[in-house]
Structure 1
Amino acid sequence: MSTPPALASAKAVRTPPAAAWEDRGWIGIPDSTYFRAAAYHLKRRSAPTAAAVTGTRAAAALASSAAMRPDAGDDVDLTIPPAFNLQGAKLSAISQATAYQAIRERQTTPPRTRTDRRLAATRLDLHEFTKRLATDATIWRACRSSDIRAPVQQFIFCALHRSQKIGEHWSSIPGYQDRAFCPACGDTIESMEHILFQCDDLGSTTIWTLAKSLWPHGQENWPRDKLGIVLASGCLTTHTQPRAARPAGLPSTGALPQPSDDGALHLLRILISESAYLIWVLRCERVISEHQHTATTITTRWTNTINDRLHTDQLNASRLIRTSTAVIRAQQTWVGTLASESQLPGDWPKSHEVLVGIRAPRIPT
């Protein structure tokens, strides 16, 4: 039985949004200072206040005209008498999440100049490839992209904060200044850029060559080797090649699907994030355990890492409760990268008995 319109309207009048906001102490309400002042002026009226359609439109018109004024406009009195200025929140209206949000709103965060500089550099590198300027919030959210594994997310998060203990971190610590230099080069101050892209002894050249050789959508759609591309890999965008430009040996019709922008983007984020993280892991193994990695070992490690991501997509597509979206996405992501791809059945993502793997990479010389 539906609620009569008059009763629904009466319920809306009895429980206005401002009352709920006031019960939770105005926590998490944008521009709460202005809403609290407006709530005070409504409370001090002895007569009930109702908003008609005409009044709402008139208020919207006044707000629009005020926003277009070149000056700041009239000063708004936001003073609230103590009798109307309730403090705190009702226990019945607050949750643990709301309480934590209140703590975050009241805490003063010290300036993080190193993080801000890293974010600015990341934004510029990303803009060079995507032609879009991402906000700080967008870059932070990209750290938790579903295309990136949890350990890699943590690595990117720490790199954005520049919290890894490398390079300049050791320069100011007496007795440990020698740790500031690259363990492979010996005469270069270590930095994340140097580790991921410049130090050949750590395997970076081999790994990035392998990643680019597997990428089937043209080198013009592959970003330049820059740290910001790795840190903002969850924000990347790309485009696939047209049908005529597909890799040689692949049929243009039949069981194999055409690549899609969504599938290519999933593959690009996998290749960049996993390659960068593997370089960091190899560097840590060399520094901590003094392991020396040959080109063959690095190639095998990288191939196994990408094959693991391929098998993860296959498992997601072959679950008992699955959607066609997961199957299609797996097909469109890995098209052009698989070994003996023209011989695979069209439903390989959801077939457990079908063994798939990326094409055998060639060790860079």
Structure 2
Amino acid sequence: MSALRIAFNSLNQHKLRKLCLMTQSTAYKLIRKRKMETKKYRELLNRKATKRNMVLAQNAVADPSDELPSEGKIWKATKHKDVSRSIHFFLWMMVHDSYKIGRYCDKISGSEQQGVCEKCGVTESMDHIMTKCTEPGQEQVWGLASDLWKLKTGAELPKPTTAQIMACAAIKRRDAGTTRLFRILVSESAFLVWRLRNERVINKENPTSARAIHNRWLKLINNRLGLDRAMTNEHKYGKRAVKKTLVLKTWCKVLKNEDDLPKDWTRETEVLVGIG
């Protein structure tokens, strides 16, 4: 057998082993990613709803004295490094208005009632889910985000619009640290609101208690804080590492017992946000 044939067989066996070890979730993500990259799929998504949301997102970012940001900037923001990878697809779908909620259900025989919020009695929309629904979830989540934001800035965080959520990673605040915390708070909070809705509507679970919502939100934000601390390790993460100065600026003023922490707390193990 030629050396080329041996190398070819070895490569195929390696790929087969990787395929066998692949989880169903990973396989689905790879298939979805490949589908999203096809020209046909992108053309199907280039419709009125996408264009409408794009304009809303652009206006949410634009300063009154500046020109609208490009569409490319908005799309790039949905995959921004300040946003968790698990949330990239969520923001991308929001811009495309591709979640099957509300009036979409009217087109499916027998599913008409699923498009109506049981608690509020109105047609579901992303705006309703994110900012208006009276079911346990959005009101408390945004309240917690505002509490942490107030520690950082001294001012409450107004509940973001759906346009601001879609474009959160393109919106700038007064400095790099404040901007980054804004992106983290808005993206993580919005995705939690979405998951709470799905657990209730799709999985038919009972509404989550106020205490459970509080604990889940706090865990999410503390996990992001912990990830930030870990990602400052340049020896481990190389070019993917986050600058220590940026992490310190992001979380300053919002940490628990911050005055007792060393100036560089990124190597400390028990660092948490200051609401609990």
Structure 1 residues 161-186: Cα deviation after superposition (integer angstroms, max 9, x where no partner):
1111100110122221101101432x
Task: Name 2:176's counterpart in structure 1.
Answer: 262
- Equivalent position amino acid for 2:209 in 1: T
Task: Name 1:134's counterpart in structure 2.
Answer: 69
Residue 124 (structure 2) aligned to one of 169, 177, 190: 190
Alignment CA distance shift 1:294-1:281 (3 Å): same
Task: Name 2:167's counterpart in structure 1.
Answer: 232
TM-score by length of 2: 0.77
Task: Name 2:222's counterpart in structure 1.
Answer: 307
Task: Name 2:138's counterpart in structure 1.
Answer: 204
- Equivalent position amino acid for 1:307 in 2: N
Equivalences, count: 233
Q: Which has the higher helix share?
A: 2
Residues 1:296 and 2:197 aligned together: no
- TM-superposed CA distance for 1:295, in Å, is 0.8
Alignment CA distance shift 1:305-1:133 (3 Å): same
Task: Name 2:186's counterpart in structure 1.
Answer: 272
Residues 1:360 and 2:267 aligned together: no
The DSSP-based 3-state class of the residue aligned with 1:276 is: helix
**Could you say which structure has the larger radius of gyration?**
1
Asked if structure 2 preserves the Cα contact closer than 8 Å seen for 1:145 and 1:234, the reply is yes
Question: In structure 2, what is the Cα distance between the partners aligned to 1:322 and 1:161?
Answer: 33
Asked if structure 1 preserves the Cα contact closer than 8 Å seen for 2:148 and 2:254, the reply is yes
Question: In structure 2, what is the Cα distance between the partners aligned to 1:225 and 1:129?
Answer: 18
Asked if structure 2 preserves the Cα contact closer than 8 Å seen for 1:143 and 1:232, the reply is yes
Alignment CA distance shift 1:326-1:311 (3 Å): same
Question: In structure 2, what is the Cα distance between the partners aligned to 1:268 and 1:129?
Answer: 20
The DSSP-based 3-state class of the residue aligned with 1:320 is: helix
Question: In structure 2, what is the Cα distance between the partners aligned to 1:140 and 1:304?
Answer: 28
Alignment CA distance shift 1:198-1:131 (3 Å): farther
- TM-superposed CA distance for 1:265, in Å, is 1.0
Asked if structure 2 preserves the Cα contact closer than 8 Å seen for 1:169 and 1:180, the reply is yes
- Equivalent position amino acid for 1:152 in 2: I
Alignment CA distance shift 1:140-1:344 (3 Å): same
TM-score by length of 1: 0.59
Listed as ranges, the gaps of 5+ residues in structure 1 are: 1-102, 240-260
The DSSP-based 3-state class of the residue aligned with 1:201 is: coil
The DSSP-based 3-state class of the residue aligned with 1:310 is: helix
Asked if structure 1 preserves the Cα contact closer than 8 Å seen for 2:136 and 2:210, the reply is no
- Equivalent position amino acid for 1:336 in 2: K
- TM-superposed CA distance for 1:136, in Å, is 1.1
Question: In structure 1, what is the Cα distance between the partners aligned to 2:124 and 2:42?
Answer: 32
Question: In structure 1, what is the Cα distance between the partners aligned to 2:218 and 2:41?
Answer: 46
- Equivalent position amino acid for 1:335 in 2: C
Percent identity, please: 30
- TM-superposed CA distance for 1:283, in Å, is 0.4
Task: Name 2:198's counterpart in structure 1.
Answer: 284
Alignment CA distance shift 1:350-1:117 (3 Å): same
Task: Name 1:340's counterpart in structure 2.
Answer: 257
> After the TM superposition, which residues 1-365 of structure 1 pair with which residues of structure 2 at under 5 Å, given as runs?
109=43, 111-127=46-62, 133-185=68-120, 187-215=121-149, 216-219=152-155, 222=157, 225-239=160-174, 261-291=175-205, 292-318=207-233, 320-321=235-236, 326-351=243-268, 354-361=269-276
Listed as ranges, the gaps of 5+ residues in structure 2 are: 1-37
Cα root mean square deviation, aligned: 2.5
- Equivalent position amino acid for 1:267 in 2: L
Asked if structure 2 preserves the Cα contact closer than 8 Å seen for 1:263 and 1:332, the reply is yes
Task: Name 1:13's counterpart in structure 2.
Answer: none
Asked if structure 1 preserves the Cα contact closer than 8 Å seen for 2:231 and 2:242, the reply is no
Task: Name 2:30's counterpart in structure 1.
Answer: none
Alignment CA distance shift 1:293-1:158 (3 Å): same
Question: In structure 2, what is the Cα distance between the partners aligned to 1:279 and 1:107?
Answer: 28
- Greater mean alpha carbon deviation, residues 172-181 or residues 274-283: 172-181
The DSSP-based 3-state class of the residue aligned with 1:349 is: coil
The DSSP-based 3-state class of the residue aligned with 2:140 is: helix
- TM-superposed CA distance for 1:202, in Å, is 3.7
